[in-house]
Amino acid sequence: MAQDLPPLDPGLRLRELEAELDRSRAAHDEIRSKAANLAEETGRLRADMVKTARAAQESEDLLSELEFQLDDLREREESRSEALKRRSQQMVGVLTALQRLAWRPTEALIAQPQSPADTVRSAILLRAAVPQIEQSAHDLRGEIDSVTRLRAEIGEQKKRIAATATRLEQEHDRLKDMVERKSQVQRATEEERRSAELRMRDLAAQAEDLRDLLARLEQERERRIVEAAEKAAAEKAAREAELAAQKAAREAELAAQKAAREAELAARRAEQQAAAEAKEREKAQARVAREAEIAAQAEAREKQLMAQKATVEAEQASREAAASRLTRTGKPFSQMQGHLPFPARGKVVEAYGQTNEVGHQTKGISIQTRKGAQVIAPHDGQVVFAGPFRGYGLLLILEHSEGYHTLLAGLARVDSTVGQRLTAGEPVGVMGQDDAKPALYLELRHHGQPVNPLPWLMARNNKASG
């Protein structure tokens, strides 16, 4: 029996387990740090996208204004050219007659079938007309110079239009690249978003009308709130379990130390019973160590699950914090009347409440835009629907605070996904290139009821906006 292996030191084994737990905590902190960095990068990218989208829309406005000026210059050039042509024809007739008289004045006077007095009067009148002809010739030269300047100005205007169009194309390309980068950054939560999107499509298929869809979306939002509360309660219980496990491990360590001291005292008192008691202590210590190891492994697995949950939570919280930092006004939606930007630059061609071609009153407004125009979010919100919906085509619904929703339809491409949080001015899609006159349809709803969006939008005075 003297050759048996020495008993395990429970204190050593517990220290090893604590070291393993420390490594697990370090890995957890690293995951949390990566999640924070990911959220920070998303915030910077969102700010760049808002800035670039604003620059693209300003270039669209400038391009529309330059084209308007070019049309005006062309009309002036055509009018001046036509007037110049008429005056040139008049001058040609007069100068031809004067030239014939200058070549053969005597024969011209003899050939006149009139009296000498009439001939003298004709010569006097002709001499009086010469200064007027010279003035007309001077004015004609001025008209020619004016037409030449207009044509030169038209050429310069075309160059400015070409340069602005090139800059606009570059801004659209940059926005497209940033949208792709943002998609890559957000792949960590792509599965959750895809699930939410499928759920939203299922809701859309079941909805009988748009009001029913919004009611279902409100129910879905309440369900998300309940799930978030349950998740927070579960995480709280997990933290309490972790504290209890740490307390149990500490108590086990103290018990092991106490047992070791008692074993040493017992060995001194009863040398003859040391072997038997040592075996019993060895079994008890091994059992305690095994139980502690099993508990530590279970705790490590639980911590790993908590770390994954904390990563998703930290990313969501960071996204919400970044969105909060980027809010342009910090005001609730109900206080934004007259301060919302137009989601796309263009002219309002259909007003709220107007009777359309099928006899129905419109519940929103239609904005005629340029081909490929950039569309942005008018205010902070969360995407609750993105996809085709009945007669709306591609439909995007943003949920704001206080029961307000924004509906955007008529886009050729949507760059946002269900569940994504957006800040004011962030790009959400583009208009089509093939339509002759693309139009963006905008609705504003409060608790499902349509509201006239025009009083909420900022007034714009340029020609492009109408």
Domain range list for the chain? 334-465
Give me the mean pLDDT over the 437-450 stretch. 93
Give pLDDT, residue 43. Answer: 75
Q: Which residues pair with 408 in a beta bridge?
A: 396, 442
Q: What is the mean pLDDT of residues 10-30?
A: 58
DSSP secondary structure letters along 80-124:
HHHHHHHHHHHHHHHHHHHHHHHHSHHHHHHT--S-HHHHHHHHH
Strand partners, 394: 388
pLDDT for res 326: 41
226: Cα separation from own chain's centroid: 28
> Helix and strand tally (H, E) in the chain?
6, 11
Stronger pLDDT, 98 or 87, i.e. the higher one: 87
Among candidate residues 375, 426, 381, 429, the one with its CA nearest the CA of residue 405: 381
Q: Residue 2 has what pLDDT?
A: 46
* 172 CB-contact burial (10 Å; exposed 0-12 / middle 13-18 / buried 19+): buried
> Residue 452: what pLDDT?
95
Interval 426-451 mean pLDDT: 91
Most confident range (mean pLDDT) of 25-29, 127-131, 269-273, 317-321 is 269-273
- Cross-strand pairs, 413: 430
Q: Of 120-124, 409-413, 449-453, give the lowest mean pLDDT range.
A: 120-124
Q: For residue 104, name the pLDDT band (cuts at 50, 70, 90).
A: very low
Q: How much is the pLDDT for 250?
A: 82
Beta bridge partners, 369, equal 346
The pLDDT score that the predictor gives to residue 348 is: 94
User: What percent of the chain clears pLDDT 90, i.e. is strictly above it?
Assistant: 20
Average pLDDT of every residue of the chain:
76
Q: Indicate the pTM of the whole model.
A: 0.57
The per-residue pLDDT for 436 is 78
CB atoms within 10 A of CB 289: 21
Contacts with 178 (C-beta within 8 Å, 6 or more apart), sequence order: 45, 48, 49, 52
pLDDT in tens, 237-294: 888 888 888 888 888 888 888 888 887 777 677 777 767 777 777 788 888 878 878 8
Q: Is the pLDDT of residue 207 over 60?
A: no
Q: How far apart are CA 291 and CA 22, in angstroms?
A: 19
Q: Which two tokens stand for residue 231?
A: 């998740």
Contact 432, 371 (CB under 8 A): yes
- If pLDDT is split at 50, 70 and 90, which confidence band does 429 have? very high
What is the H or E stretch that residue 49 is in?
Answer: helix 10-103
Distance CA 303, CA 243 (A): 12
Exposed/middle/buried for residue 206 (C-beta within 10 Å: 0-12, 13-18, 19+): exposed
Q: Give whichever of 55-69, 172-186, 266-280, 428-442 has the largest mean pLDDT.
A: 428-442
Residue listed under structure tokens 């342009």: 328
Residue 202 has pLDDT above 70, yes or no: no
Q: What is the DSSP letter of 437?
A: S
Please indicate whether residue 254 or residue 391 has the higher confidence score (pLDDT).
254
Residue 74: C-alpha distances to residues 144, 153, 155, 160 (Å):
15, 10, 11, 15
- For residue 451, give Cα distances in angstroms to 8, 396, 407, 428: 76, 17, 11, 22
Q: Of residues 95 and 177, which shows the higher confidence score?
A: 177
pLDDT of residue 163: 83
Higher pLDDT, 461 or 421: 421
**Interval 325-366: pLDDT, tens:** 444 446 789 899 999 999 999 999 999 998 877 788 899 999
Amino acid at residue number 265:
L
Which is more confident, 215 or 372?
Answer: 372
Distance between CA 418 and CA 381 in Å, rounded?
11
The confidence score (pLDDT) of residue 23 equals 63
Look-up of token digits 């809010």: 327
Q: How far apart are CA 286 and CA 22, in angstroms?
A: 23
At 44-53, the pLDDT tens digits run: 777 887 888 8
Whether residue 451 is predicted with pLDDT greater than 90 in this model: the reply is yes
CATH superfamily of 334-465: Glucose Permease (Domain IIA) (2.70.70.10)
